[in-house]
Amino acid sequence: MPGTMDKAAEVVGDAVGTVEAAAAAASSKVREGLSDAAATIGSSKAVERVEKQARPLKKAAAKKAKSIKKTLQKRAAVAKRKATGAKKTAAKKTTVAKRKATGVKKTAAKKTTVAKRKATGVKKTAAKKTAKKRATPAKKATRKRS
């Protein structure tokens, strides 16, 4: 019985090997057939027709891509222009603020000098008045003596 089983296993193994070889040969034939068919179709008018029909689609896609690119460039330019304008405006505002600050400083300086002058004038006037007041009794005394 074991001998019969061995023979049966051997027959089955040979059959499997034969089937595998047949499948490999068939797949290579199928591949060859497909490549031949592709070559035949490639040189046929059907392919030319398909390419002709696809050409407008390719052109349209290229056109659309180009217009999208242009739109993006325009938007970028607008954004750049706006940014530059904002910078200029900010610069102008700072210069105006600086000018105003300088004006305020000058005005304050003028006011302080005027106040100093007035204070000095007041001091001088007060000194004159006190001198006059002091001189008045002396004058009176000299008048009385003479």
- Do residue 21 and residue 73 come from a single domain? no
Domain limits at 32? 1-43
Structure tokens given for 115: 């106040």
Give per-residue pLDDT as tens, 52-108. Answer: 777 888 888 888 888 898 898 998 998 888 888 888 888 888 888 888 888 888 888
- Do residue 71 and residue 28 come from a single domain? no
Provide long-range contacts, Cβ within 8 A and 24+ apart, for 22-28: none
pLDDT tier, 31 (very low <50, low <70, confident <90, very high otherwise): low
Total domain count, the chain: 2
- Do residue 16 and residue 49 come from a single domain? no
- Do residue 95 and residue 57 come from a single domain? yes
The predicted pLDDT at position 140 comes to 63
Measure the CA dihedral 67/69/74/79, to 10°: 150
Q: Does the reported pTM lie above 0.75?
A: no
Average pLDDT over residues 34-53: 68
The predicted pLDDT at position 105 comes to 85
In contact, 41 and 47? CB cutoff 8 Å: yes
Average pLDDT over residues 23-50: 68
- Do residue 29 and residue 59 come from a single domain? no
- Do residue 55 and residue 122 come from a single domain? yes
